[in-house]
Chain A
Amino acid sequence: MYAQMIKSEATQDDPEKLAAFQARIDAGEKIEPKDWMPEGYRKTLIRQIGQHAHSEIVGQLPEGNWITRAPTLERKAILLAKVQDEAGHGLYLYCAAETLGVSRDEITEMLLDGRMKYSSIFNYPTLNWADIGAVGWLVDGAAIMNQVPLQRTSFGPYSRAMIRICKEESFHQRQGYDAIRQMAEGTPEQKKMAQDALNRLWYPSLMMFGPSDKDSVHSAQSMAWKIKMNTNDELRQKFVDQTVPQAEYLGLTIPDPDLKWNEERGHYDYTDPDWSEFFDVIKGNGPCNVDRLAARNKAWDDGQWVRDGLLAHARKKAAGKHAAE
């Protein structure tokens, strides 16, 4: 899940229009950009889609950190393909946000000056090669948990973007699992890398689903609008249930001594992440927050002359064509 703690906007619209809008959603209709929609729905979606898009963009950095050190040509090619897909996901999502009346430059600037967030997970470092496998296996795995139901979300452009994204994300998760499997079955040093990656990324992955339901105050309106399809705890449980047997198969130990199967519930019991750490990361105090934002700001600032140059050229060309007509 790349959207965390999205605050639903209060809505002060004509009650009749609101009721008709809700009826369309309840009937499973898709809302399209030109349809009437409550201002709160529009604003909440901009924030949610924007946060998801920013996460795809910032997410290039921890993975890009290993492209130049990938251990084989094939792994390098796979990682390049994956990072390229992620930039592409960012592009679809920015386009979906644009249909709601906000330009890509506007929301990019909101990311760069800290008004908008990206997923907390990308504020953690990638320290050994197994982290690249673990990011695919755990981080993309967690993202898919949320994105699969969002294919049915009420807003048409968002739903269609999710359908495209989900196809690629399942490939990402498989390659991640394959990369970490190779290491878990490898030399003692490789196994150590795989376990180290799991130790560091397990709880941050659980945090991706957002705070516990009892502390999650924004869910009800978003769920009624079908822009949030499941609660945070439902998805987190589903993720734990799916991932534990995979870790067992790999011979890796999930860093939670209290993790055990609960026959009665039909689910694994697990330890919640340290929520104070989560809120620290959200506030900007994660291990990489400052570096990630600095990298994005530098890319944007250093690229200003390129964007200006290409725009100036496009204008000259358009003017030339105009003059020739």
Chain B
Amino acid sequence: MTREEAFTQFLLRMGDNTLILGHRVSEWCGHAPVLEEDIALANTALDLIGQTQMWLGLAGEVQGEGKSADDLAFLRDAWDFRNVLLCEVPNGDFGRTLMRQFLFDAWHSIQLGRLMKSSDERVAAIAEKASKEVAYHLERSADTVVGLGDGTEESRRRMQEALDYLWPYVGEMFQSDDVDAEMVKAGIAPDPASLREEYDALISRILGDATLTIPESRFAHKGGRTGAMHTEHLGHLLTQMQWLQRAYPGAKW
């Protein structure tokens, strides 16, 4: 694997995370429990899609095959996607959506903090811009997780169920492979495993305030960030997202 190939993979991982999660969050449009949440969910999705444009734009540039961010988003098949599985699991109820957001935001904020010191100026610049948005995402998702965890009996039960369901998807964010080794060597990005301690401290504090119990198992589903094995859900998501581009090739929109 060349440095460019590894760098491209890294950028696809960043951009596919925000693209797929942004898509999932946007599915809520008009269906949230309260108007303020409709606004917040649309705003989060909008930020994530904006970040996707930057990450995938840079991925296309580094890859050097003349592909735009749109080409990468709309014309790749499932096996070429590099998002973690956490981002593609279906929304479930509002509690699961917000728990997924919190578990991702916590990782995302730490990751972006490290990437702001990247040896690649373009990466550092995207991270700098995105980190401001993600700080707000994390504040909001953490507050909501605490509010619902420490709310009524029903809301607590639902949040614990959400955490139990999503927990096996957390570990993948911290798995390292050759791509990561290459990124560490180049000073472009940190080793994912090195983020875990800070992450655990952060989520333990918030989930403690939420009166929720973190499952003991460290088992982690994997295969999203390498593309080796996505969930069955991704194909359906892409079917919808890519439909117009696939049905009318070459059209400008």
Contacts and interface: CB of A to CB of B under 8 A. Distances in A.
Contacts of B150: 313, 316
B147 A310 contact: yes
A190 B94 CA distance: 36
Interface in A128-160: 129
Given A73-B52, A80-B42, A305 B35 contact: no
A314 B42 contact: no
Interface residues of A, number: 52
B49 interface: yes
Contact of B154 (A61, A299, A308, A314): A308
B78 interface: no
B152 A305 contact: yes
B248 A80 contact: no
B207 to A, nearest CB: 15
A84 B45 CA distance: 10
A298 B241 contact: no
B69 to A, nearest CB: 6
Interface stretch (B21-29, B106-114, B168-176, B222-230): B21-29
A91 B34 CA distance: 11
Given A309-B154, A312-B152, A64 B30 contact: yes
Nearest to A304: B33
Interface in B28-47: 29-39, 42-43, 45-46
A67 B26 contact: yes
Given A84-B42, A309-B147, A309-B152, A298 B31 contact: yes
A303 B34 contact: yes
A71 B26 contact: no
A308 B49 contact: no
Contact of A72 (B23, B70, B243): B70
B245 to A, nearest CB: 6
A68 B240 contact: yes
A88 B43 CA distance: 11
Contact of B151 (A182, A190, A313): A313
Nearest to B70: A72
A303 B243 CA distance: 31
Contact of A306 (B45, B95, B241): B95
Nearest to B56: A73
Contacts of B43: 84
B251 A187 contact: yes
B164 to A, nearest CB: 17
A73 to B, nearest CB: 5
A74 interface: yes
B253 A129 contact: yes
Contacts of A75: 253
Contacts of B37: 303, 306
A77 interface: yes
13 contacts: A57-B30, A57-B35, A71-B244, A73-B52, A77-B53, A84-B42, A129-B253, A179-B253, A183-B253, A305-B155, A309-B155, A310-B144, A316-B150
Interface of B: 19, 23, 26-27, 29-39, 42-43, 45-46, 49-50, 52-53, 56, 69-70, 73-74, 93-95, 144, 146-148, 150-152, 154-156, 158, 240-241, 243-245, 248, 250-253
Among all A-B residue pairs, the 8 with the closest Cβ atoms:
A303-B33, A309-B155, A309-B151, A64-B29, A60-B30, A84-B42, A306-B33, A71-B253
